[in-house]
């Protein structure tokens, strides 16, 4: 399975407003996306985090490149900063393990 974790911090009041207007529909899109096996959000430290598990990297990329999530990615640099990480795993990791790995190995945005 393919694990994806993101940790984002909105930029200011207007960034936060735009962030939430895109984050909620993007999360709902992920929950319904073909190949999604697990989808959860949490606030960890100063980050708004999403942890998802997919049947394959290709299924995750199909979600990533469509709908509200694509719109959110196009607006990202104006509304938030943060990290993302994707990797293969045998099972969904616990939140603390996934977040530690995100901080250590994640790609800065």
All structural domains of the chain: 2-108 (3.30.70.100)
Low-confidence ranges of the chain (pLDDT < 70): none
Q: What is the pLDDT of residue 29?
A: 96
The answer for residues whose C-beta is within 8 angstroms of residue 49's C-beta and 6 or more apart is 5, 6, 7, 8, 41, 42, 43, 95, 99, 102
Prediction pTM value: 0.92
Q: What is the pLDDT of residue 60?
A: 97
């Amino acid at each position: 399975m393919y694990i994806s974790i993101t940790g984002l911090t909105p930029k200011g009041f207007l960034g936060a407003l735009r962030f939430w207007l895109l984050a909620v529909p993007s999360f709902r899109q992920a929950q319904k996306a073909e190949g999604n096996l697990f989808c959860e959000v949490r606030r960890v430290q100063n980050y708004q985090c999403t942890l998802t598990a997919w049947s394959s990297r290709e299924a995750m990329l199909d979600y990533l490149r469509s709908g509200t999530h694509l719109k959110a990615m196009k607006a990202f640099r104006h509304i938030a900063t943060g990290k993302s990480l994707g990797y293969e795993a045998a099972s969904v990791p616990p939140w603390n393990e996934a977040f530690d790995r995100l901080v250590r190995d994640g790609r800065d945005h």
